[in-house]
Amino acid sequence: MAIQAMNISIKNNNLMRSKRDKFKRTLGGYSKANKTEFNLPEATPQILREIKERLQEERRLTTLKVIALALIISVGLLYFLMNNSNEIRELFWF
Protein backbone atom coordinates (compact mmCIF):
# COMPACT_ATOMS: atom_id res chain seq x y z
CA MET A 1 0.00 0.00 0.00
CA ALA A 2 2.79 2.44 0.89
CA ILE A 3 4.66 1.77 -2.35
CA GLN A 4 1.53 2.41 -4.38
CA ALA A 5 0.98 5.75 -2.63
CA MET A 6 4.59 6.68 -3.27
CA ASN A 7 4.25 5.87 -6.99
CA ILE A 8 1.05 7.93 -7.26
CA SER A 9 2.72 10.86 -5.52
CA ILE A 10 5.71 10.73 -7.88
CA LYS A 11 3.38 10.50 -10.88
CA ASN A 12 1.35 13.52 -9.75
CA ASN A 13 4.50 15.54 -9.10
CA ASN A 14 5.80 14.77 -12.58
CA LEU A 15 2.46 15.80 -14.13
CA MET A 16 2.49 19.12 -12.26
CA ARG A 17 6.08 19.87 -13.20
CA SER A 18 5.16 20.81 -16.78
CA LYS A 19 2.36 23.14 -15.60
CA ARG A 20 4.59 25.33 -13.46
CA ASP A 21 6.41 28.31 -14.87
CA LYS A 22 10.02 27.45 -14.20
CA PHE A 23 11.98 29.98 -12.17
CA LYS A 24 9.14 32.51 -12.29
CA ARG A 25 9.96 33.80 -8.80
CA THR A 26 13.58 34.65 -9.50
CA LEU A 27 14.59 38.29 -9.64
CA GLY A 28 15.15 39.17 -13.26
CA GLY A 29 14.95 35.57 -14.41
CA TYR A 30 17.59 33.71 -16.33
CA SER A 31 16.91 34.80 -19.89
CA LYS A 32 19.58 36.88 -21.58
CA ALA A 33 16.96 39.20 -23.10
CA ASN A 34 15.72 40.41 -19.70
CA LYS A 35 18.97 41.45 -18.12
CA THR A 36 18.48 43.28 -14.82
CA GLU A 37 20.37 46.52 -14.44
CA PHE A 38 21.08 48.16 -11.10
CA ASN A 39 21.83 51.83 -10.63
CA LEU A 40 24.43 51.61 -7.90
CA PRO A 41 26.57 54.58 -6.88
CA GLU A 42 30.28 54.46 -7.52
CA ALA A 43 32.31 53.38 -4.51
CA THR A 44 35.41 55.39 -3.85
CA PRO A 45 38.24 53.95 -1.74
CA GLN A 46 37.32 56.37 1.07
CA ILE A 47 33.69 55.16 1.13
CA LEU A 48 34.84 51.54 1.12
CA ARG A 49 37.22 52.27 4.01
CA GLU A 50 34.38 53.90 5.99
CA ILE A 51 32.11 50.91 5.36
CA LYS A 52 34.90 48.56 6.45
CA GLU A 53 35.49 50.50 9.67
CA ARG A 54 31.77 50.65 10.45
CA LEU A 55 31.37 46.90 9.92
CA GLN A 56 34.40 46.17 12.10
CA GLU A 57 32.96 48.34 14.87
CA GLU A 58 29.57 46.59 14.60
CA ARG A 59 31.26 43.17 14.80
CA ARG A 60 33.29 44.29 17.82
CA LEU A 61 30.17 45.53 19.62
CA THR A 62 28.27 42.35 18.78
CA THR A 63 31.13 40.23 20.12
CA LEU A 64 31.26 42.27 23.33
CA LYS A 65 27.50 41.92 23.80
CA VAL A 66 27.68 38.14 23.33
CA ILE A 67 30.57 37.82 25.79
CA ALA A 68 28.81 40.03 28.35
CA LEU A 69 25.58 38.03 28.04
CA ALA A 70 27.48 34.74 28.39
CA LEU A 71 29.24 36.03 31.50
CA ILE A 72 25.98 37.23 33.07
CA ILE A 73 24.29 33.90 32.41
CA SER A 74 27.24 31.86 33.67
CA VAL A 75 27.56 33.97 36.85
CA GLY A 76 23.81 33.64 37.45
CA LEU A 77 23.97 29.88 36.93
CA LEU A 78 26.97 29.58 39.23
CA TYR A 79 25.21 31.68 41.89
CA PHE A 80 22.11 29.48 41.59
CA LEU A 81 24.16 26.30 41.89
CA MET A 82 26.14 27.57 44.88
CA ASN A 83 23.03 28.64 46.81
CA ASN A 84 20.98 25.56 46.00
CA SER A 85 23.68 22.91 46.22
CA ASN A 86 21.97 21.04 49.07
CA GLU A 87 18.67 20.82 47.20
CA ILE A 88 20.46 19.66 44.07
CA ARG A 89 22.33 16.97 45.99
CA GLU A 90 19.05 15.73 47.46
CA LEU A 91 17.46 15.78 44.03
CA PHE A 92 20.18 13.61 42.48
CA TRP A 93 21.01 11.58 45.67
CA PHE A 94 24.67 12.48 45.91
21 within some domain:
no
Note whether 15 and 7 are within 8 A (CB).
Answer: no
> What confidence tens digit (pLDDT) does each residue in 28-40 have?
555 566 666 778 8
Domain assignment of residue 83, given as a range: 44-94
> What confidence tens digit (pLDDT) does each residue in 51-92 have?
999 999 999 999 999 999 999 999 999 888 888 887 777 777
13 within some domain:
no
68 within some domain:
yes
Tally the domains of the chain.
1
3 within some domain:
no
DSSP one-letter code for 29: -
What CA–CA distances, in Å, run from 5 to 11, 17, 19? 10, 18, 22
12 within some domain:
no
- Report residue 93's pLDDT band, with 50, 70 and 90 as the boundaries: low
94 within some domain:
yes
